[in-house]
Homo-oligomer: A and B are copies of this chain.
């Protein structure tokens, strides 16, 4: 910038103003500055600007995992609005570990980012790290996986309702003993889905609602093993609602291995945006979340919080509904109908 100023025999102050299109600079010099800037292909040092302005034009997205259709679509949604606003997006992965999430958020306290979008890990049972961030006046918005009981904005989907719908769907298609596979009893979102599921079981007076919730934790292998045990056990279910994508994949894989036929012996529904659902064997019934929209809306909300300093905007809850898309995996079977 000094060079630019020298080149044009102007002061750095003037150049700075010209580049930021200040009204107190003549159009003439603005043009000249712009020209020589691009000629010397000069670009503003973002960190110097950040230092002065105390804003980084950067947001953080904290998620448990990217290799999951829901989250990657959500990132697309987030990115689309960040791009429009000229913001940069830092991605952090907690890999479902609380300790990772903690250290990630502590990084976000340092002024590195102007706001945080977060989907909490399944291990998170304590919100100190989140509250600390909020105390530093960093705008935060939860998307999808919230932490309950905080005064923090969130963009979620109608989990309870969908849980309810998933159970009634299975029951009305003939299941007598449906179960719900959860990934964590501390995850609000999972609990809401499970509660809806249990409520439906209670209403229909089917099975024991409490026994119908099964928590699947651990590595992929451990989960596969748990599911195999479940499906070969004596009280084996005839219907499964998987709370997340990867559980359904395990169910399919295991069923294939041990020759359980879907939907004849076992009906399956999953909460997921899995693109390949219609071409699976058999096509998989999904409760499809508006993943892109959730990301987009959460980002828009965050920017509201970043732009206006009215933090009270921030008890906001936006619920975007999911839809149950019925496919073969949950269909009633001919020979079972009678």
Q: A residues within 8 Å of B by Cβ? A: 41, 43-48, 50-51, 56, 58, 66-69, 72-73, 75-76, 79, 83, 88-93, 106-107, 109-112, 132, 249, 252-253, 256, 274-276, 278-283
CB<8 Å pairs between A and B, sample of 19: A41-B109, A41-B132, A45-B111, A47-B51, A47-B112, A51-B51, A66-B66, A67-B69, A67-B76, A68-B72, A88-B90, A89-B91, A91-B91, A249-B279, A256-B278, A256-B279, A276-B280, A280-B280, A281-B283
Which residues of chain B are within 8 angstroms of A46 by Cβ–Cβ distance?
110-112
Given contacts A67-B76, A249-B279, A281-B283, list 9 more A-B pairs with CB under 8 A.
Answer: A47-B112, A66-B66, A75-B91, A88-B107, A89-B92, A91-B91, A253-B278, A276-B280, A281-B282
Which residues of chain B are within 8 angstroms of A69 by Cβ–Cβ distance?
67
Q: List the 10 closest pairs (A to B, CB-CB), nearest first.
A: A281-B281, A43-B110, A47-B50, A252-B279, A66-B72, A67-B72, A276-B276, A47-B47, A91-B91, A47-B51
In the bound assembly, the distance between CA atoms of A81 and B86 in angstroms comes to 27
Contacts known (A66-B76, A79-B91, A91-B79); A279 close to B278, Cβ less than 8 A:
no
In the bound assembly, the distance between CA atoms of A132 and B186 in angstroms comes to 50
Q: Give the contacting residue for A90; candidates B68, B90, B252, B279; CB below 8 A.
A: B90
Q: Are A109 and B280 neighbours in the complex by a CB distance under 8 Å?
A: no
Interface centre among A76, A88, A132, A279, by most B CB within 10 Å? A279
Which residues of chain B are within 8 angstroms of A41 by Cβ–Cβ distance?
109, 132
A38 to nearest B CB, angstroms? 10
